[in-house]
Chains A and B, each alone.
Chain A
Amino acid sequence: QSALTQPRSVSGSPGQSVTISCTGTNSDVGRYNYVSWYQQHPGKAPKVLIFDVSKRPSGVPHRFSGSKSGNTASLTISGLQAEDEADYYCCSYAGSYTHYVFGTGTKVTV
């Protein structure tokens, strides 16, 4: 099972919006509404931002939103803030054999 494809990097100015894509196949992203997104600051553990494509855990700012179309999921950060500078990973459930597949990761620069 190959990793989901993400852009290596995206950048934006404070207050702008950026969108990170996560492209999989019809065996993972396209088949299941179980895409999650994680934020990872340098030297820190990943933290979930979005689960089940578009749901936010309590405590995650509303400026983080998720969506999916076909085999591609997206994470949008609206009103970019300095503290949003981090690595972001998507993850999709991929069935009872592969289970979970992560994305290649995207570095967001503010």
Chain B
Amino acid sequence: QLQLQESGPGLVNPSETLSLTCTVSGVSVSSNSYYWGWIRQPPGKGLEWIANIHYSGSTYYSPSLKSRVTISMHSSKNQFSLNLYSVTAADTAVYYCATLRSQDPYYFAYGGQGTLVTVSS
């Protein structure tokens, strides 16, 4: 059974880097059958897509965040990660990792429970 679990610091200082990891179980992140991605939700607000990655190395970024985001894969640990640079209070959100099926990568099939990251000094 495919499961995803986010992990990372719950508090990040302004101007620093937000780093999150998603640990995948039940399937290999190196599988050709899936894409892996990140979505976020500021408190009381809606959902925003951040980035996707495929085992082939292809990456896809939201135009609004592209200049500050890197998504990467760590196959040996069956994980993928997100780095968001130069954060501000506007980056405070619950961050979800998610997966999309390669055969239909147009919806988020499964997601983690989410992790709240607060940007504050």
Interfacial residues, chain A to chain B (CB-CB below 8 A): 1, 3, 32, 34, 36, 38, 44-48, 51-52, 57, 89, 91, 93, 97-105
Given known pairs A45-B113, A45-B114, A46-B96, the reply for A102 and B107 (CB within 8 Å) is no
B46 touches A36 (CB 8 A): no
- Please report whether the interface of chain B is mostly helix, strand, loop or mixed according to DSSP: loop
| A99 in contact with B62 (CB, 8 Å) | yes
State whether A103 touches B60 (Cβ < 8 A): no
CA of A36 to CA of B49, assembled, Å: 13
- Please determine whether B108 and A102 come into contact, CB atoms closer than 8 angstroms: no
Which residues does chain B contribute within 8 Å of A1, judged by CB atoms?
63-64
How far does the Cβ of B89 sit from chain A's closest Cβ, in whole Å?
20
B27 within 8 A of A: no
**Contact check: which of B60, B63, B104 meets A52 at CB < 8 Å?**
B104
